[in-house]
Amino acid sequence: MDSVQTYVEVLKWASSFLKENGKDAFLAEYLLLERLGWNKTQLLVSFKKIMKPVELKQFREDIAQVVSGIPAQYVIGSTEFYGNRFKVTTDTLIPRPETEELVELCLQENKAPVLNVVDIGTGTGVIGLSLKLNRPDWHVTLIDISKAALSVAADNAKKLALDVDLIESNVLTQYKGSKLDIIISNPPYISYFEEAVMDESVKEYEPNTALFAEDNGLAVYKDIAKEAQYHLKPKGKIYLEIGYLQGNAVKKIFQQAFPEKQVDVIKDLNKHDRLVRVG
């Protein structure tokens, strides 16, 4: 393509190029807006302006990386989650919209100004940090088995000026703090049997340790249920994201661990089983 192009011409080229290569055409606009820090209105009023050469060079590189299979969020290096921007790297999962529903449920049901909360398998930190942003007086601890993921979470906490604790731990094995009011987690839950039908970009670029779990994807839930018995307050609650076929199995795990508590499976906006609440 020519080196002198308007924004609309560049966008048209990129959309067609992505489509020709089996990628979603909408990613062209997404990448352009993300890289420039624009909203759609800013793009519309700039449609017929000439794109700066440095912007065009970067955009071409971004498009090439997406065509090669790299997820757009990794290309940009950040993503939006629950109204805030978070750094993402290949050491962390890319946060999904369904996880926002987990955060929303927890915030809706817990209004107390001071609670002790742990986010297990925090990755980028989006769950725990989003809770802290909305409940500044909560004491939030971010836990992950991956040192690299914790480093990303620490960067996000620093950027958002949030005071949280970070612990490298397999579930709660290294947690030594006070009893917990809330345990929240989006743990690895994909069975290795499902790998064959997964998107190639997810398998190639997102960290396997944050995706897959033994025991048909239930292993980490069993670990959480076991260790939560020692760390959860009598009236404490647990909030979990699950695979859409795991509702009954995860409910059974936590009902056995906490026979005195109500265990509910909650559907997401697409009417799929997505969340489990224990409390």
Annotated binding-site residues for S-adenosyl-L-methionine read 121-125, 144, 186
Annotated binding-site residues read 121-125, 144, 186-189
| Beta pairing, strands 180-185 & 139-144 | unpaired
Look-up: residue for tokens 């742990």? 118
Count the alpha carbons within 13 Å of 176 in the hemisphere toward its beta carbon: 3
CB 185 within 8 A of CB 278: no
Annotated binding-site residues for substrate read 186-189
Backbone phi and psi for residue 274, each to the nearest 5 degrees, phi listed first: -140, -25
- From CA 210, how far away is CA 75, in angstroms rounded? 19
CB 67 within 8 A of CB 132: no
Count the alpha carbons within 13 Å of 24 in the hemisphere toward its beta carbon: 8
Give whole-number Cα distances, 273 to 186, 211, 241, 250, in Å: 14, 18, 9, 11
